[in-house]
Chain A
Amino acid sequence: MPERWSDYLAIFMSALAVGYMVYEIDRRRRNLHDVFDVLGGEDAELTAGLVGMVESGELQPYAGATLA
């Protein structure tokens, strides 16, 4: 057991630092996945919508050099 109050403070500050790091890493991981991620089963509806537009001829490969 720590004997001095400064030891308690050091333990508390260390725990705070570790907690902050875990929080910050998780936040950045979530941000990264928000921006870039794989398409999985939960995106099937989105994929079906796009594939449907291509198959129906509603969407054609874009031939322009610039976006209008």
Chain B
Amino acid sequence: MPRAPRASGSSRRPRAQARTPRDSAGPRSPEAPARTLDARRIEAAAPRFQIFIVDPGWNSPAHRVLRENFGMVRNLAKGDPIYVLSREKSIAFALSQPSLIGKGPAIIVHDLAALREGGATGFHGFRLHLGLLRTEQQALLALQSFTRFLATHRQSVDLEAEIRRDLRREGIIGAIEIIMHHESREIGA
């Protein structure tokens, strides 16, 4: 599981803000700074992510962990809307997307900034197939890492690059662990 990089980019401008029209086109009116401030407040309040939980209801450790810790995930997801598909809808959805079968519960996160910018043709979010984890401990660690990842990357300007960098780093750390004969950490056992 990718962990939050030390500098999570919180000091950088979010992508949505970067697209805000600059007020340098014309002469500045006294209301201009106030309007810019309002726009920033609205952007800050707008959700960055859309979270979907697809759980067909396999009797698995991951299913139990998600049920028991959902409240915590919801509290930590701040203002991002969480959509929970019912068991019937999850099964119907998994049937329409057979690649999901056996991997649920799945948590699918849409990056609204990326979706607005480039649609679904390129990078537009990330997903966690919790159902692939065999033990409750693995599932809980993954869920915690995932929630931390959401929280620390909310203001990220280039989320895709950060995720790929983290995955690459995990790969390098995993390689070192293999060489050192250590057990794998968190996910990927």
Residues of A within 8 A of B (CB): 21, 24-25, 28-29, 31-41, 43-51, 53-54, 58-62, 64-67
Which applies to chain A's interface (DSSP): helix, strand, loop or mixed? Answer: helix
Residues of B within 8 A of A (CB): 1-2, 50, 52-53, 55, 66-67, 70-71, 74, 81-85, 89, 93, 96-97, 100, 103, 108-110, 115, 120-130, 132-133, 142, 146, 160, 163-164, 167, 170-171, 174-175, 178-179, 184, 187-189
Apart from A39-B127, A62-B82, 6 more pairs, CB < 8 Å: A31-B189, A34-B103, A39-B108, A39-B126, A53-B85, A59-B89
Residues of B near A45 (CB, < 8 A) are 97
A21 touches B142 (CB 8 A): no
Indicate the member of A34, A44, A67 with the most B CB atoms within 10 Å: A67
Residue of chain B at shortest CB distance from A29: B171
B175 touches A25 (CB 8 A): yes
B125 touches A36 (CB 8 A): no
Residues of A near B89 (CB, < 8 A) are 53, 58-59
Q: Which of A33, A37, A54 contacts B50 (CB under 8 A)?
A: A54
Give Cα A1–Cα B1 distance, bound, in whole angstroms. 45
Give Cα A31–Cα B188 distance, bound, in whole angstroms. 5
B163 touches A21 (CB 8 A): no
Residues of B near A25 (CB, < 8 A) are 171, 174-175, 178
CB distance from B79 to the nearest CB of A (A): 10
A46 touches B108 (CB 8 A): yes
